């Protein structure tokens, strides 16, 4: 096991989390499907799953870095959340 690759992957995951959060907040755009908001920590899960097959050390540690960075920043362990429907005039139901 190459510990340098694990460290590089983890740091890359943290940096990727910060960059995704920055651009998401700057553009005020959120990825939504119907009433579900998909957080970018789902990308971390995808990295971990792909990491079981290829580039094990880098992808799994990067996925954990994304998930951990998102959890530390938002102070909650969330991947998908249900959003409230917004009516005309900005009233939430």
Residue 1 CA from chain centroid, whole number: 26
Q: What is the pLDDT of residues 74-87, one digit of tens each?
A: 777 766 677 776 54
DSSP state of 81: E
User: In the chain, which residue ranges form alpha helices assigned H by DSSP?
Assistant: 3-27, 41-51, 56-74
Backbone angles phi, psi at 60, to 5 degrees: -65, -45
pTM over 0.75: no
Per domain, the residue ranges of the chain are 3-84
Closest CA to 8 of 50, 55, 45: 55
pLDDT tens-digit map of 28-77: 666 666 777 777 777 888 888 999 998 878 888 888 888 888 778 777 77
């Amino acid at each position: 096991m190459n510990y340098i690759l694990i460290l590089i992957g983890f740091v890359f995951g943290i940096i990727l989390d910060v960059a995704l959060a920055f651009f998401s907040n700057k553009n005020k755009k959120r990825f939504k499907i119907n009433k579900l908001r998909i957080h970018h920590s789902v990308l971390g899960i995808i990295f971990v799953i792909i990491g079981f097959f290829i580039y094990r050390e880098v992808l799994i540690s990067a996925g954990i870095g994304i998930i951990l960075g998102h959890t530390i920043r938002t102070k909650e362990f969330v991947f998908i959340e249900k959003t409230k429907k917004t009516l005309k005039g900005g009233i939430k139901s």
